[in-house]
């Protein structure tokens, strides 16, 4: 009873944050500038409010169909988050074209590598479910490493974009928790896996959305990067 109450509380808090942030971005005219963030939020909302409830009502909680819908939608969200990290890379290095070309190639190779590692794992351990778990764990971890690389590179190059700093930190939180959780589940052979993964994922999503809220809404004007002339183009996350 208490466990259900806590889980529902965390879940609905995350939903409210998703709606709140998305509404703020659209109503205050940040939709174009932060297109990537908007797209991810729309996907979160669509999956959390339409796709998963629909599958739950029609197939039931214990059904195989719901399981597939749940994990496939999670993989889609992770892929979108990977895309968003690519947008962040572009925003950070838009003034350094040569570096951005190298980064673009690296991002493509990382994705191919993650896919290859997961396929090899599937070959040795044939099961669709294993493949999805393994692929997602690897993708989460690859995104986390890329995100950290981006953060370190931004600091070393002295790129002053306070908003992007916070967006990257939020993204790091979103990836670190579930990646650790998936690895923990693998090591403990799945004991308490579902509830743990749900808690951690929802908490990390809420953490990410709170940090993004602070980045977009809460960062005081004195700290925020001033937009003028060339900077507007440089800041576009698209």
Partner 1 sequence: MILATIILVSSSALCLFYLQVTCHKILKREFAREYFTSIANANRLEFVFVRRSLQEYNAPVDYAWIRLALKCDYLALTYLLKNAANSKQAYSREEWLLMLYFRSLFLLLSFLHVLKLRERPAILKLTAILQHFANRLGERVSKVRFGNLSASEYLLTL
Residue 67 binds to partner 1 (criterion: CB under 8 A): no
Distance, in Å, from the CA atom of 217 to the CA atom of 61, rounded to the nearest integer, reads 37
Helices (H), ranges, 47-187? 52-59, 64-92, 97-124, 128-157, 162-187
Is the CB of 162 or the CB of 194 nearer to partner 1?
162
Residue 213 binds to partner 1 (criterion: CB under 8 A): yes
Residue 179 binds to partner 1 (criterion: CB under 8 A): yes
Residue 223 binds to partner 1 (criterion: CB under 8 A): yes
- Say how many residues touch partner 1, by CB under 8 A: 34
For residues 178 and 197, the answer to whether their CB atoms sit within 8 Å is yes
Listed ranges 64-72, 88-96, 184-192, 228-236: which one lies at the site for partner 1 (CB under 8 A): 184-192
For residues 94 and 234, the answer to whether their CB atoms sit within 8 Å is yes
Listed ranges 73-81, 99-107, 209-217, 227-235: which one lies at the site for partner 1 (CB under 8 A): 209-217
Question: Smallest distance from the beta carbon of 112 to partner 1, in angstroms?
Answer: 18
Question: Smallest distance from the beta carbon of 42 to partner 1, in angstroms?
Answer: 23
Pick the binder of partner 1 from 148, 193, 196, 198 (CB under 8 A): 148
Pick the binder of partner 1 from 165, 199, 201, 216 (CB under 8 A): 165
Listed ranges 41-49, 100-108, 123-131, 136-144: which one lies at the site for partner 1 (CB under 8 A): 136-144
Residue 19 binds to partner 1 (criterion: CB under 8 A): no
Q: Which positions ≥6 away from 204 have C-beta within 8 Å?
A: 173, 174, 175, 176, 177, 178
For residues 171 and 147, the answer to whether their CB atoms sit within 8 Å is yes
Pick the binder of partner 1 from 137, 201, 202, 205 (CB under 8 A): 137
Residue 170 binds to partner 1 (criterion: CB under 8 A): yes
- Please state whether 212 falls in left (phi above 0), alpha (psi between -120 and 50) or beta: alpha
Both structure tokens of 226: 């001033």
Both structure tokens of 181: 């959780």
Nearest partner of 201 among 223, 215, 185, judged by Cα: 185
Is the CB of 55 or the CB of 74 nearer to partner 1?
74
Distance, in Å, from the CA atom of 194 to the CA atom of 192, rounded to the nearest integer, reads 6
188-193-198 Cα angle (round to 5):
145
Q: Which x/- pattern over 87-116 shows residues binding partner 1 (rule: CB under 8 A)?
A: ------------------------------
Burial 91-100 (b: 16+ CB within 10 A, else e): bbbeeeeeee
Residue 158 binds to partner 1 (criterion: CB under 8 A): no
Residue 22 binds to partner 1 (criterion: CB under 8 A): no
């Amino acid at each position: 009873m208490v466990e259900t109450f806590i889980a529902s509380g965390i879940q609905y808090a995350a939903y409210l944050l998703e709606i709140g942030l998305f509404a703020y971005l659209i109503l205050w005219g940040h939709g174009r500038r932060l297109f990537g963030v908007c797209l991810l939020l729309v996907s979160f909302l669509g999956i959390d409010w339409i796709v998963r409830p629909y599958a739950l009502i029609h197939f039931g909680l214990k059904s195989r169909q719901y399981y597939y819908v749940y994990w496939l939608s999670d993989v889609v969200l992770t892929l979108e988050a990977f895309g968003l990290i690519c947008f962040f890379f572009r925003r950070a290095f838009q003034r350094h074209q040569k570096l951005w070309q190298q980064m673009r190639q690296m991002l493509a190779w990382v994705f191919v590598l993650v896919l290859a590692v997961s396929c090899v794992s599937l070959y040795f351990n044939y099961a669709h479910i294993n493949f999805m778990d393994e692929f997602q764990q690897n993708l989460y971890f690859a995104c986390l490493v890329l995100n950290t690389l981006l953060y370190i590179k931004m600091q070393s190059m002295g790129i002053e974009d306070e908003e992007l700093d916070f967006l990257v930190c939020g993204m790091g939180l979103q990836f670190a928790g579930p990646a650790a959780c998936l690895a923990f589940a693998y090591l403990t052979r799945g004991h308490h896996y579902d509830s743990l993964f749900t808690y951690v994922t929802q908490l990390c999503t809420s953490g990410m959305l709170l940090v993004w809220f602070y980045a977009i809404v809460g960062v005081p004007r004195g700290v925020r990067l001033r937009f003028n002339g060339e900077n507007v183009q440089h800041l576009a996350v698209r």
